[in-house]
Amino acid sequence: MKKLFIAAMLFVGVASFAQDMDQKPARDQRERMTPEQRNEKQLKKLTSELNLDANQQTQVKQLLADRSAKAEKLREARQANKENGTKLTAAERETFKKDMLAERDANDAKMKSILNADQYTKWKKIQEENKDKAREKMREYKEESN
Q: What are the tens digits of pLDDT across the range 50-79?
A: 999 999 999 999 999 999 999 888 888 888
Number of domains comprising the chain: 1
Q: Is residue 108 part of a domain?
A: yes
Report yes or no on 3 lying in a domain.
no
- The stretch 72-98 carries a mean pLDDT of 87
Report the SS3 class of residue 78.
helix
Greatest mean pLDDT among 21-30, 89-98, 116-125: 116-125
Can you give the pLDDT at residue 4?
62
Q: Is residue 25 part of a domain?
A: no
78 part of a folded domain: yes
Q: Is the model more confident about 16 or about 90?
A: 90
Tell me, yes or no, whether 109 lies in a domain: yes
Q: For the chain, give percent helix, strand, coil, nearest 5.
A: 90, 0, 10
Q: Of 4 and 49, which is predicted with more confidence?
A: 49
Classify the phi-psi angles of 13: left when phi > 0, otherwise alpha if psi is within -120 to 50, otherwise beta: alpha
pLDDT at residue 65, rounded to an integer: 93
More confident residue, 25 or 93: 93
Q: Go through 25-51 and write b for each residue having 16 or more CB atoms within 10 A of its CB, e for each that does not.
A: eeeeeeeeeeeeeebeeebeebbeebe
Asked if residue 91 belongs to a domain, the reply is: yes
pTM reported for the whole predicted model: 0.69
Mean pLDDT of 82-109: 89
In this structure, is residue 126 part of a structural domain? yes
| Mean pLDDT value of segment 13-32 | 57
Whether 7 is covered by a domain: the verdict is no
* Segments forming the whole domain that contains residue 82: 35-137
The reported pLDDT for the residue numbered 11 is 66
